[in-house]
Amino acid sequence: MQGICLDCGMSFSEDTRYCPKCDNALEHQHDGSTITVDIAHDGERVSEALRKMQSEIDMARKGVAANIRLVVGSGLIRDEVLLALRDLEFRGDVKDFDLEPTNAGTVLVRLK
């Protein structure tokens, strides 16, 4: 998969960490966008929702979105997602996260 540096426009391969032209860190580049994914309202069990969350975060980190908005509901899935996100934040896989102030059933995760 090819990517394009958002600073200079140079093409790069998927495993490239720094732009071959301008030397900017590609993993920190973003376009400010937010991806919204519902991981809790299609009959998912906790383990399925957590797998779905991890997969969506992994895909979003490879792209140019700055954030991912996880729709998690207000029950057990939300509680488990918050625990898993604490671990991802500790490991540095996400920058930070918080429940949305106007909707406690969604979590906004800052990726870059």
Q: Summarize pLDDT for 36-54 with one digit per residue, the tens.
A: 999 999 999 999 999 999 9
Are 35 and 71 contained in the same domain?
yes
Residue 105 clears pLDDT 80, i.e. is over it: yes
Are 6 and 41 contained in the same domain?
no
- Residue 1: the pLDDT is 60
Are 23 and 39 contained in the same domain?
no
The average confidence (pLDDT) of the chain is 91
Question: Cα–Cα distances in Å, from 3 out to 10, 12, 14, 26, 28?
Answer: 8, 5, 7, 9, 13
CA dist 40 and 43 (Å) reads 7
Are 23 and 45 contained in the same domain?
no
From the CB of residue 14, how many other CB atoms can be counted at a distance below 10 Å?
A: 9
CA dist 18 and 109 (Å) reads 24
Q: Which domain holds residue 2?
A: 1-29
Residue 14 clears pLDDT 80, i.e. is over it: no
CA dist 30 and 75 (Å) reads 32
Per-residue pLDDT, averaged over 86-98, amounts to 96
CATH of the domain at 86: 3.30.1370.110
Q: For the chain, how many structural domains are there in total?
A: 2
Are 23 and 53 contained in the same domain?
no
Per-residue pLDDT, averaged over 3-10, amounts to 81
